[in-house]
Amino acid sequence: MKIVTDSAVDLPEEMFAQYGVERLPLFISFGEEMLRSGIDIGPEEFYRRLAASGDNLPTTSLPSPGEFVELYRRVGQTDKDILSIHISSGLSGTLNSAIQAASQLPELNITHVDTKTLSAAEGFQVVAAAQGIRRGWSLDKILARIKQVAEQTEIFFTLDTLHYLQKGGRIGRVQAMAGALLNLKPVITVDKEPGTYITVGKSRSLSKSIEQIAALVAEKMKHIPAWIHVLHTNSPEMAQRLGELIKARLPNACFTFGQIVPVLGVHTGPGCVGAVCGPADVLAE
């Protein structure tokens, strides 16, 4: 069985090679220039260009069914059993494109998973599936493990500004204006039922919101060994601070760090920092 996912996944790059995971890129457009996130443009160049874009913000688009067909056919040459794991259907139409593609390929056994999340929280489910495949588990057992990991995993992040989320249509204009007027820094997570953003806290400073995130992560993981992936958009100092606050509360947790992938950075903008927390045994070989 092979795993296919999308470039909304945030994981240390070596993990994709380690588990043989295939990614289909989402797209970023700067005007007429269309770039494949993570292939044609990486985080460093993306955040530099984003800062210089002014009001001409980039936009994102999802892979077409035809692009999924092409990838599925290539992967299917070596294994007809494919597990296709994707960003929340509440945040992107990527899963719908994948399902449309699979309907054109009856010769392949393609199973789709709606992670109802994104970023490294999506990635934790990908790693859980990859570990199950390595152990020779049945599809049903792998799907049950993915569900278990999804239930044990949370993503929390805060933003310097709501401007990018509002421009990308992820929150309403009134909500963004209210946040700007009050200079509020929200703490956002993903509601696992619809797979959409919800606010679980807010503060008048990023430092206070970061402290809220550390407390939320510690509460979520207080009873199980934790894997914490700290992520940011061009804000390594804030990420380091968040990591320190979480480590003080969960000293035995396993930590990884990384920049948020460009296709998600379009909607968060610079100055975003957050953490994904999940069970450490996802990493166990």
- What does the pLDDT read at residue 56? 86
Mean pLDDT of all residues in 114-128:
97
Distance (Å, rounded) from C-alpha 72 to C-alpha 79? 10
What pLDDT sits at residue 174? 35
pLDDT at 27: 95
| Phi and psi angles of residue 267, each rounded to the nearest 5 degrees, phi first | -95, -20
32-51 pLDDT per residue, tens: 999 999 899 998 899 899 88
CB hemisphere CA count around 161 (13 angstroms): 11
Residue-wise pLDDT for 238-274, tens only, equals: 999 999 999 999 999 999 999 999 999 998 888 899 9
Q: Please report the domains of the chain, with CATH numbers, ordered by start residue.
A: 2-26+62-151 (3.40.50.10170), 153-283 (3.30.1180.10)
Determine the Cα–Cα distance for residues 190 and 196; give it in Å rounded to an integer: 5
pTM score of the predicted model: 0.92
What is the rounded CA–CA span in Å between residue 53 and residue 48?
A: 9
Percent above pLDDT 70 for the chain: 93
Give the mean pLDDT of 118-144. 97
Higher-confidence residue of 217 and 15: namely 217
